[in-house]
Amino acid sequence: MKILENGPKGVKLLKPKVFKDNRGYFYESLNIKDLCKILKKKITIKQSNVSFSKKNVFRGFHFQTDPFAQDKFVRVLSGKILDILVLIDKKSKYYLKCFYYELSDNNKKMLYVPSNFAHGFLVLSKYATIEYFVTNYYSKKHERNINIFDKRLNIDKKIISKKLVMSSKDMTSNFL
């Protein structure tokens, strides 16, 4: 696995080494030892989640507060998404700034998302299946979300002008 881009505040855009031959391809999707070496810190994966969504579905922006804050390791199993991160560290000059990454089954890019970011994604293909590994267990009590239409975010107008498909939870905000 190699780093394609060092993003803000610990975000890493990664790509696995892909072995191709006449049968297809093979790659290690997650190797904790290698990931810890790349991140220069020890992490423990506690949960794996898979999400299937249709075109124009927006899921997010989600995060959890301490002591259940989660780092995430995101990859696309099928389809294409625009992964959007929002920095939620109030001490940072980039507070509430958005960062965009296109992930797909074709480009095989993966994203490491530290717990100081809210995470969301927009499905760009007809369908998309996303897998993400997290470093802490889900806690409803510690779950928070930010509405994509929150004016403080300055989301790209091309995104919010689309007819987004969202859950009622994602249309609310419980972020202070």
pLDDT at res. 156:
86
CATH number, domain of 76, equals: 2.60.120.10
- Residues 131-160 have a mean pLDDT of 92
Catalytic residue among 127, 132, 138, 142: 132
* Catalytic-residue membership of 127: no
Q: pLDDT (tens digit, 9 = 90+) per residue, 41-70?
A: 999 999 999 999 999 999 999 999 999 999
Catalytic residue among 62, 100, 101, 138: 62
The parent domain of residue 80 ranges over: 44-160
C-alpha–C-alpha distance, residues 32 and 80, integer Å: 25
* Catalytic-residue membership of 132: yes
Cβ distance 44 to 102 under 8 Å? no
Residue 175 lies in a domain: no
pLDDT at res. 65:
96
C-alpha–C-alpha distance, residues 38 and 28, integer Å: 15
Residue 15 lies in a domain: no
C-alpha–C-alpha distance, residues 120 and 83, integer Å: 6
Q: How many domains does the chain have?
A: 1
C-alpha–C-alpha distance, residues 130 and 31, integer Å: 18
Residue 167 lies in a domain: no
